[in-house]
Structure 1
């Protein structure tokens, strides 16, 4: 799972950060979430019929920014290049939705970088809608 950090970092384009810093952030974020998962979190690995890893998802309890209620939060979702378009990401996301419902959450949220056009389209096709935008200005 940690080996997919480069794929997550590769879709992040920003004028504020160097690619090396983005990669270091992504690797550290993935390692922190996966090596010491929060109580009540969910980690899933998608494999093909012979056990080859296709991707992973990590979700955890989150907080609705308006009501303060606990909701589900997808912290990480990545698939291998070979798995793109095979439905692995959709199956992982569907499992996270099931998990969130089982926890009694009214919503499932996630963050996606604006430059991740493919990811944004994927999430929109799967029922996610933009709720907030974070704007940044380099000084």
Structure 2
């Protein structure tokens, strides 16, 4: 396996992983259709930004694509210093457990350093326990936590 810069030709592959990204969220107050629509819209917007950098993992022999990461410049929320945001990370089901996500994050970190970024931030669904353990194992730590309370419709 190797990681390379993504190209516009990789976009259909990336968008094809929207369902996998939406599928790790488990919120009783959200329908699968809402989560899928959110993920598709989020990915469409993130991948359309001109400053988004994409990385793609593929089999070394030019075989199938295995996963991708997308990142963009984003100042450090605390200091305002140079930083980046890892907006997307997904691997195919067949690539799970093969170190593909770890290789993509390592490549993202190296790219971030080359950009002069001092931090790399990301968001992960709170119910994605596997993802949270993975990011924790790579040294990512929580700085903020967004809490959501579903509200019943207003009466009257």
2:54 aligned partner:
43
Cα distance, 1:22 vs structure 2: 0.7
Following TM superposition, where does structure 1 have runs of at least 4 consecutive aligned residues deviating by more than 2 angstroms?
Answer: none
The root-mean-square deviation of aligned C-alpha atoms, in Å, is: 1.2
TM-score, with length taken from structure 1: 0.93
Higher radius of gyration, 1 or 2: 2
2:131 aligned partner:
119
Ranges in structure 1 where 5+ consecutive residues have no aligned partner: none
- 2:91, 2:76 → 1: CA distance? 27
Secondary structure, counterpart of 2:125 in structure 1 = coil
- 2:142, 2:50 → 1: CA distance? 26
Secondary structure, counterpart of 2:16 in structure 1 = helix
Aligned length: 137
Contact kept, 8 Å, 2:82 with 2:116, in 1: the verdict is no
Secondary structure, counterpart of 2:20 in structure 1 = helix
2:16 aligned partner:
3
TM-score, with length taken from structure 2: 0.83
Contact kept, 8 Å, 1:72 with 1:105, in 2: the verdict is yes
2:85 aligned partner:
73
2:102 aligned partner:
90
Is the deviation greater in 44-53 or in 91-100? Answer: 44-53
